Amino acid sequence: MKKGLFITFEGQDGCGKTTQINLLVKYLKNSGYDVVLTREPGCSGLGEKIRNLLLDYDGEVSSVCESFLFLADRAQNVDIIVRKNIEAGKIVISDRHTDSTVAYQGYGRKLNIDKINMLNDIATGGLKPDLTYVFDIDVETSMKRVGKEKDRMESAGKEFFERVRKGYLQIAKNEPNRVKLINSVDSIENIHKQVVEMFVEKINNLQNLE
Ligand code: TYD
């Protein structure tokens, strides 16, 4: 079975990851790779519906219910899109994945991190990204970038996002081999250059292991 690569992009709202995803996809396609782009929440038809529930609902939401909805969407993404494309030898890029639930629901909503890790494992069937980019940004700048039009998650407030940021920094510290931290307060070109360098380094390391 030929194996592709699984790459995830993470960071607070307003960290600029979407711009960088699009640039990496362009670079990879120009380099001849077969690339599949997906996202969480909102990967497929059903995922879109879960995304709307999560972001548009304006009533009170239990943090556990919120977590299970993100996890349900994740299981759908992995089973319907990610796993089969990796097995087909493609590069799958997911805009957010397991680390978002650790950072937002674990650190942000203060749910138990070990339990979140366990639930993530169930949702993914144990599949782990080969490479994860975490885009780090101070909360003030990120909130300015998000602007006034906020969805339910983006309305959570400054203290919440300080905890989310701390969560991402801890994740990067815990797993330096998988997770690459990038300072998001830099030019788009400089950040893209780093993203590509880290990708090339990962490919070389994996080839050395073969
Ligand atoms: P995202 O698609 O990045 O938002 P946008 O399209 O507006 O840039 O993510 C949606 C929101 O969901 C974002 O605030 C992060 C949040 N989220 C969680 O809280 N937990 C999760 O597990 C995931 C995947 C996302």
CB-based pocket (< 6 A), ligand 1: 13, 39-41, 70, 96, 100-101, 104-105, 151, 153-154
User: What pTM was estimated for this model as a whole?
Assistant: 0.96
Nearest CA to ligand 1 atom 4: 13
Q: Centre a 10 Å sphere on the Cβ of residue 138 and count the other Cβ atoms it contains.
A: 14
Ligand 1 nearest-atom number relative to CA 71 = 22
| Predicted confidence band of residue 42 (pLDDT cuts 50, 70, 90) | very high
User: How far does the centroid of ligand 1 lie from the alpha carbon of residue 89, in Å?
Assistant: 27
Element at 174 (helix H, strand E): helix 158-174
For ligand 1, the distance from its centroid to the CA atom of residue 76, given in whole angstroms, is 16
Q: How do residues 78-133 score in pLDDT, each as one tens digit?
A: 999 999 999 999 999 999 999 999 999 999 999 999 999 999 999 999 999 999 99
* pLDDT mean over 7-17: 95
pLDDT of residue 1: 46
What is the reported pLDDT for 2? Answer: 53
Residue 151 CA, ligand 1 centroid: distance in Å = 10
Pocket test for ligand 1, best of 55, 119, 149 (most atoms within 8 A of CB): 55
What CA–CA distances, in Å, run from 136 to 27, 99, 148? Answer: 22, 13, 21
Find the 42 Cα to ligand 1 centroid distance in Å: 9
Gap from CA of 12 to ligand 1 centroid (Å): 8
Q: 66 vs 43, which has greater pLDDT?
A: 66
Burial class (CB in 10 A: 0-12, 13-18, 19+), 175: middle
Q: Which CATH fold would you assign to the domain 5-209?
A: Rossmann fold (3.40.50)
pLDDT of residue 173: 98
Instruction: State the average pLDDT over residues 4-27.
Output: 96
Query: Among candidates 99, 109, 84, which has minimal Cα distance to 160?
Result: 109
Rounded mean pLDDT of the chain?
95
pLDDT at position 155, please? Answer: 87
